[in-house]
Amino acid sequence: MRTESVVLLMFLIASGVAIAARRLNIPYTVALVPVGLLLGALHLFNAPALTREMLFLIFLPGLVFEAAFHIHFENLWRDRLAVLALAIPGVLLAIALTAALLVFAGALTSYLPHVGWALALLFGAAIAATDPISVVALFRELGAPARLTLLVEGESLLNDGTSIVFFSLILAVLMGQVPSGGALVVDFAREVGGGVVVGLAIGLAASQVVRYVDAAMVEVMLMTVAAYGSFLAADQLGVSGVISTVAAGLVCGNYGARRGMSPTTYIAVRTFWDYLGFALNSLIFLFMGFAIHLRTLLEIWPIIVVAYLAVTLARGLVIFGISGVLAMTRARIPRAWTLVLTWGGLRGALSMVLVLSLPDTLPLRNLIVNMVFGVVLVSILVQGLTMTPLTRRLGVVSGHGALRDYELARARRHLADEVLAEISGLQHGRLLEPEALDAVKAEYEQRASEAGAQMTQAELDREHLLRQETVGVRRRLLLFERQRLREARDRDLVGEEAYNQLLADVDARLLACDNGHVSEPAS
């Protein structure tokens, strides 16, 4: 089959999987991988090979930009300490711990060949990046706390870039380029810092143009140019393309969208990126299934199990360690969340593509490749399919189906009441025939009555609902308080020192709300 026919067929398959996954109540992206495995084993058609060029030029810029575009910078900045700790020192610690556990396991068991520290570090760097696509989609469906979703998504956005940088540096050392420790630090700072500068420049440029354009299709095109242009420009300059695209996405999604787009245009742009994210995710997870050869992995399953345990244990140690350090700050992470963050560290296509880029002359290359593929597959299937019961068991989410039905009914009643109020105004205006208005009024009164009955019949944990509603109201009022405080500062009604102190207090209470706490944080 021709490539375009294969891609079209894969979109059709992905649509079918999405429908089936929704009915079976399993994560859609997790379901795509076994389907890809099955199709690859049956050899019904040949999918394009998942290559570094394909991932870096087609998939990664779009997926990274889409995720960054939807993140509110204020929320990310407020949780910057936790996100940066997980994404930079957390990645470095995970690489070192994974390598140490792998070397230790190799010394104790005959299942795992002695790969040595250098190759163990390379494996750790290749597998360090987490892929939150399945987990974040699941969190949004289950109604997990917004801050937990932000931590998972924010960590992944940044650790993609740091893991690529560390992987490149470790590979360079293995290939005989032995820079000093100071040179490694400089190279890392140059790649990350350069990526930030390039992304900010392109994101700001696109956002400035958007302010003077009022055409949805043109603005969609400008955002696409910013996404892929920031990645390509950074790559050409020898700095991190992922970090560059993250920076461009944050600027365009916050400054560009809020300052330069009308509500109608913003909806069009957001809808486009929602679809593009769905399409790219569909293809990449199917490609992953095709790329994995199950028979080869089964031949070395003991090695894969040892590697998977090492990766998971290393992440757990890092998450709990960082959580312990952050417990002494305002960015503390609830204990139940540490388990969710540990188990939510799925690995994905980036790890597979990084390891495929290893040179053929590298010792034990095939073993490292199959270990990474095996760990990716196990993490997606085991962790992806057990996230829902884990989050419910820990009390992170509960009763979301009933809550969703209740919220839908409440929204329908609210909309019906709004329309009835508008009809009342039209009746007072005496510009329309009363009989026409009465007919429409009866229809919306019926809708409001049905929605009210659905709200009454919903089987809800009322105490949980009240707690969630209280948190939501408190958060909305805190955001209002924050806005008024900023306006007071801008009008010179509050001094800078007092502003900073009051802002820190509001942010602390916002963090408490995002953690799901109703009570005020201890001072």
What are 281-290's pLDDT values in tens digits?
888 888 888 8
| Band of pLDDT at residue 522, cut at 50, 70 and 90 | very low
The span from the CA of 111 to the CA of 175, in Å, is: 27
The arithmetic mean of pLDDT across residues 190-210, rounded, is 92
Phi, psi of 184 (to 5 degrees): -65, -45
Contacts 24+ apart (CB under 8 A), 142-145: 142/388, 142/391, 142/392, 142/397, 142/400, 143/397, 143/400, 143/403, 143/404, 144/391, 144/396, 144/397, 145/396, 145/514, 145/515, 145/516
Terminal alpha carbon distance of the chain? 66
Give helix 335-343 / helix 301-326 axis angle, nearest 10°: 150
Residues 344 and 391 sit within 8 Å (Cβ to Cβ):
no
Residue type, 57: L
pLDDT at 521: 40
Q: Is the pLDDT of residue 362 over 90?
A: no
> What pLDDT digit, counting tens, does each position of 128-149 carry?
888 777 677 767 666 677 788 8
- In the DSSP assignment, the letter for residue 48 is P
The mean pLDDT of 308-330, rounded to a whole number, is 91
Q: What Cα–Cα distance (Å) separates residue 66 from each residue in 55, 60, 271, 426?
A: 15, 10, 11, 43
What is residue 523's predicted lDDT score, i.e. its pLDDT?
A: 37
- Give all strands (DSSP E) within 25-178, no chain letters: none
